[in-house]
Structure 1
Amino acid sequence: MIRSPLLLLTAIALITLGLASGCASNPATGGADVVVMSQGKEVRIGEEMHAEILKEGGLYEDAELQAYVDRVGQRLAANSDRPDMQFTFTVIDSPDLNAFATPGGYVYINRGLLSYLDNEAELAGVLAHEIAHITARHAARQQSASITNKVLAVTAGVLTGSRQIMDSAAMYGTELVRGYGREHELEADGLGAKYMYLSGYEPDALLEVIAVLKDQEQFQRVRARSSGKPAGTYHGLYATHPRNDQRLQTVVRAANELGAGEPLEDPSVPGEFQRRTDGLPWGPASKREEGRYYHSKLEFSFAHPPDWRVRSSSSAIIASAPDGSATLTLTLRQPDPAQSPREALEAAASGALSEGLELDQAGLKGYSAVASNDADARRLAVVNHNWQYLFEGKAEDFAAADGTLLEIIQSFRPLHPQEREVASGRHLRYIQVPRGATMASLAASSRIPDAEAQLRLLNGLYPRGEPRVGDWVKVIQ
């Protein structure tokens, strides 16, 4: 008969773990993987969370940047311990300096963090760290530890009738989970550094990312102290690491010892990372009317159903229904002064036109009609506003969607004066440092709070560094 509460708790733990858990080899660590969540459930949870993030408008609407981040991520994933797993990489429209992963292969990075990174290797470091959380099944192991903790507590209480044992089991399990969190981060660092090396990136870039985030922490403490407010606690990416984390340096060195790799690009000159991040919005997203698209350079706006997505590229703007069943594509061209909007549409259309409609919206002249070609029908329109804008709407069920397509077209108008700030906002730009420039002089044209300190943070020069003539630096315009 077991008389010691500790021995009894241990016995219950062993029995409960045997009943409640599955055990397999972890694909990343090679160790025993004691989990209660199947890989199929991981994928389902990730899919549900991803759908919710997109539904809440979390996606940063820049198709080219999204594709670039996905390409870097897929290269790392292909060299991970789960190369056959499907990964999805998404840039989130948030100014926060963070990245995170959810079960099932979903990795997210905030646009705010992208602004503070200097090159593709640092981006790869962030993504590799999050990939490692997935390959090592940290979310599943964390949930399993939490569930096992609850099962331990309840089972102990039921079998012994002892509230003390129930409380002890719960407290022990909670501490175990907290410990998992700390160890999981270092494990993700080691695996991520390995994935970086195997993908051609310098693992040392992980240390550069740590320095960026620790500078940000120091800045927040200084600013809080000067305002007499308590400094907030940072809980984001790498929050568990001190600036000179010896354990992190050890795992990075281990990855470097796999061989001598060369970086994919010279970070001292603008490469693809710089081209893709030039123009990133700075700070919180502007307060825009929900369901309205704004274009600052061309100074126009149009309304759309709140659940529709609008994507822009160098050649077109495409508004699409959430299920892709209907799309409206907007392109532009130089207008012919000799043509009316109706004549321009008739010249551009293929197929017979019907249901012609003269447009006169907010002073803009246009014309719309339905083009039919065999069984295919499309909603077309031309509107003149400095340029000539051509609309083409398609739908699987055209009769049902045509009213919505026409409403979007009829909502097209010039920006109101008060909307120009909303549409343009402030953006990150790369410039080459001219002779005689200092951080103070560069900050003078950036209309943001603490401009000089913020520019130093963006460029890895915090707290007192100065740029060199000819260097490429980030500014806010």
Structure 2
Amino acid sequence: MRMINILKSVAVLFLLIGISSCDKNNDLVLFGIQNDIELGAQVDAQIESDTSFTILSRTAYPEAYAYLEDMKESILNSGEVSYKDEFAWELHIIHDDVLNAFATPGGYIYIYTGLIKYLENADDLAGVLGHEIAHSDQRHSSKQLQRQYGIQLLLNIALGKDASQLAQVAGQIAGQGALLKFGRDAETEADEFSVRYLAKTDYACNGAASFFQKLEEQGQGSDGPAFLSTHPPSDTRVEEINAKADELGCSTTAVSESGFTYEDFKNSLP
């Protein structure tokens, strides 16, 4: 009996090793890429069906979504997004007068109209969008889920033993109105990757810095938008974003827009 138990333990160990994966930054993540995709899709479906979220439709606001899509494509085509071809990279605008944005595993990005109208120019939004793309692309969400829910629950989900557990996790995430609260390291990394992404676009690569600078000037650096509640202080983030831009030697000149501008984008929203 003892030998059988030992063999079972060894089998479980090899099973864990087999289904665990290193992301492209060599961090160990229990979830595989397909699990990210499936979880993100479930969260998206949950949010779509939740009447507490007013998601603007693409047919009613085609110009607004086209503007966002162009910005997203510029970032994805930077050559710096690891899972560009694997993840959905689907954008949603939520009509709510709050300063918020969040991302799920698998590349679903949600941006609130309150945040869009608070930002002053396209570079600001590109900086925030790059930050949220980084959360998905660097798999911060999956790593946080692994810490929050534990290996056993995620193992069951990864093995497909109980689909309701995946739905439950997705429902809890969607019900919070924001995915997960990340620690300082994840937020700092997302800021850095935002600079890396934008460095290969026409947007100012330190676009996120001006956003945090505005928060600081208005006294919202530590008690501002919900999605900043566990982030590093705004003044520190401004310094670190600008330092990264200096390190990369990328352009911090504001993007030159013609035709449908950021102001037009904001005015097109309810």
Q: TM-score, normalised by structure 2?
A: 0.71
Q: Is the 8 A contact 2:101 2:132 kept in 1?
A: yes
Say which SS state the counterpart of residue 91 (structure 2) adopts.
strand
Alignment of 1:106 with 2:111, yes or no, is no
Task: Please give the alpha-carbon distance, in whole angstroms, between the structure 2 residues aligned to 1:233 and 1:202.
Answer: 24
Of 52, 55, 58, the match for 2:54:
58
In structure 2, the partner of 1:73 is 72
Task: Please give the alpha-carbon distance, in whole angstroms, between the structure 1 residues aligned to 2:149 and 2:14.
Answer: 13
Alignment of 1:44 with 2:35, yes or no, is no
Task: Please give the alpha-carbon distance, in whole angstroms, between the structure 1 residues aligned to 2:181 and 2:48.
Answer: 32
Q: Point out the structure with the larger helix share.
A: 2
Letter in 2 for 1:117: L
Of 244, 262, 265, the match for 1:254:
244
Q: Point out the structure with the larger strand share.
A: 1
- Give the total of aligned pairs: 224
In structure 2, the partner of 1:26 is 23
Question: Taking structure 1 as reference, are residues 120 and 238 closer, same or farther at Cα in structure 2, changes over 3 Å only?
Answer: farther
1:237 CA drift (Å): 3.5
Higher radius of gyration, 1 or 2: 1
In structure 1, the partner of 2:256 is 265
Q: Is the 8 A contact 2:100 2:225 kept in 1?
A: no
In structure 2, the partner of 1:82 is 83
Q: Is the 8 A contact 1:82 1:135 kept in 2?
A: yes
Task: Please give the alpha-carbon distance, in whole angstroms, between the structure 2 residues aligned to 1:264 and 1:238.
Answer: 29
Letter in 2 for 1:74: E
Task: Please give the alpha-carbon distance, in whole angstroms, between the structure 2 residues aligned to 1:265 and 1:78.
Answer: 19
In structure 1, the partner of 2:235 is 244
In structure 1, the partner of 2:96 is 94
Question: Taking structure 1 as reference, are residues 119 and 276 closer, same or farther at Cα in structure 2, changes over 3 Å only?
Answer: same
> What RMSD in Å do the two structures reach over aligned CA positions?
3.3
In structure 2, the partner of 1:138 is 140
1:282-326 Cα deviation digits (max 9, x unpaired): xxxxxxxxxxxxxxxxxxxxxxxxxxxxxxxxxxxxxxxxxxxxx
Gaps of at least 5 residues in structure 2 are: 1-11, 154-179
% identical equivalent positions: 28
1:216 CA drift (Å): 5.3
Q: Is the 8 A contact 2:30 2:151 kept in 1?
A: no
In structure 2, the partner of 1:307 is none
Of 179, 185, 196, the match for 1:183:
185
Question: Taking structure 1 as reference, are residues 278 and 234 closer, same or farther at Cα in structure 2, changes over 3 Å only?
Answer: closer
In structure 1, the partner of 2:3 is none
Task: Please give the alpha-carbon distance, in whole angstroms, between the structure 1 residues aligned to 2:123 and 2:27.
Answer: 31
Task: Please give the alpha-carbon distance, in whole angstroms, between the structure 2 residues aligned to 1:249 and 1:233.
Answer: 18
Q: TM-score, normalised by structure 1?
A: 0.42
1:233 CA drift (Å): 7.2
